[in-house]
Amino acid sequence: MPPAPLDHTAAQAQRSLASERNRQPILEVLQRVLPASGAALEIASGTGQHVAFFARALPQWTWQPSDAVADAFGSIRAWCAQLGVANVRAPVVLDVTHQDWPAAASAGWDAIYCANMLHIAPWAACEGLMRGAARHLGAQGQLLTYGPYLEQGVPTSQGNLDFDADLRRRHPAWGIRAREDVQATAASAGLRLVQRVQMPANNLLLVFGRA
């Protein structure tokens, strides 16, 4: 059965200032690396600001938002209603650490997009994301991850070091990931890093394809 269309009724749009700052630079990378049309699964949609913004700017794409928890699904709906987008499906609960992803998230996606999750989740989320992406991307599909990373030989900003310490204080299993570890986990799932894009405020956007 096809996933339900998005219900545009009511609910409060939650704002993340970081999403407001980074959505335009991320969009510019999406416009460069993605084909003109396709179907995308967003992992860890959070407030829904990204998915609504990208759906409006990329009308030839259909977006499937998801998150491990449904708490902010009302906010995703509210953002989509505010921006008047019709190419976003109803959000689904998807915890990447679960072996089986829900049917609505199991298409052969042209893109899987995941921002700012890897450092605010245990390492098992990175392993689950890579395994799931390898299972659910189409043959030419791309996995895009956005966020802060540590990298060998690249000095880390004080802001990222402070952020990492704060994350680890909040939860011992959280923390900014080493890009090399993420890349190795992707490789063991059958994905290879095809692009590393330097983004504002010491973030990276990584693009993976099938090995």
Ligand X SMILES: C[S@@+](CC[C@H](N)C(=O)[O-])C[C@H]1O[C@@H](n2cnc3c(N)ncnc32)[C@H](O)[C@@H]1O
CA distance 34 to 91: 22
68 scored as a contact of ligand X (CB under 6 A): yes
How many angstroms separate the first and last alpha carbons of the chain? 31
- Pick the binder of ligand X from 116, 142, 160, 183 (CB under 6 A): 116
205 scored as a contact of ligand X (CB under 6 A): no
69 scored as a contact of ligand X (CB under 6 A): yes
125 scored as a contact of ligand X (CB under 6 A): yes
Q: In this structure, what token pair is assigned to residue 68? A: 């491990």
3-state secondary structure (DSSP) of residue 76: helix
Q: In this structure, what token pair is assigned to residue 173? A: 């299993």
106 scored as a contact of ligand X (CB under 6 A): no
Number of residues that bind ligand X (CB under 6 A): 20
Which lies closer to ligand X via its Cβ, residue 67 or residue 110?
67
Which lies closer to ligand X via its Cβ, residue 140 or residue 159?
159
CA distance 14 to 9: 15
117 scored as a contact of ligand X (CB under 6 A): yes
Determine the residue type at 148: P
CA distance 206 to 117: 13
Which lies closer to ligand X via its Cβ, residue 173 or residue 211?
173
Q: Residue 27: which of 209, 208, 205, 210 has the closest Cα? A: 205
Q: Which residues pair with 149 in a beta bridge?
A: 177
120 scored as a contact of ligand X (CB under 6 A): yes
19 scored as a contact of ligand X (CB under 6 A): yes
Where on the chain is the footprint of ligand X (CB under 6 A)? 16, 19, 43-46, 50, 67-69, 94-97, 115-117, 120-121, 125
